[in-house]
Amino acid sequence: MMVIFGIALFVLIFFPFYGISLRFHLGYILKKLFDTIGRFSLIGGAFLIILCLISVFLGRKIRVGWFIVAIVLLWVGSWSTGIIIDIWGFIIGTSENTGGGSGYF
């Protein structure tokens, strides 16, 4: 009951004066969070792609699971940051992304 009262008090007193700025602050925090997750996904995906390429050049067996995980990580990273990646004509990410950055990587 106290939680409902606290929410109602917040909505009635705080929100009319600071609601717009609160919305922008929350959006800024979430944007930074998704950009950070995207950067780590891009780094991890690039690292796994490089490991797969090194294994091909060394004559070892290609680990298809690692390659698929790398592609998925690159896709998640490009979706959350807005970066378009082109690997051998295979485009990961589109210009319709809502992430922070745009352009080719």
Nearest to residue 32, comparing CAs of 77, 81, 102? 81
- Is the pTM higher than 0.75? no
Cα separation, 101 vs 96, whole angstroms? 12
Condensed to tens digits (0 to 9), the pLDDT of residues 3-62 reads: 888 888 877 777 766 666 767 777 788 888 888 998 999 999 999 999 998 998 888 887
Which residues contact residue 4 at a Cβ distance below 8 angstroms, ignoring those fewer than 6 apart? none
Residue 105's nearest CA partner among 20, 46, 30 is 46
DSSP string of 32-74, one letter each residue = HHHHHHHHHHHHHHHHHHHHHHHHHHTTPPP-HHHHHHHHHHH
Sorted by where each begins, the domain ranges of the chain are 30-104
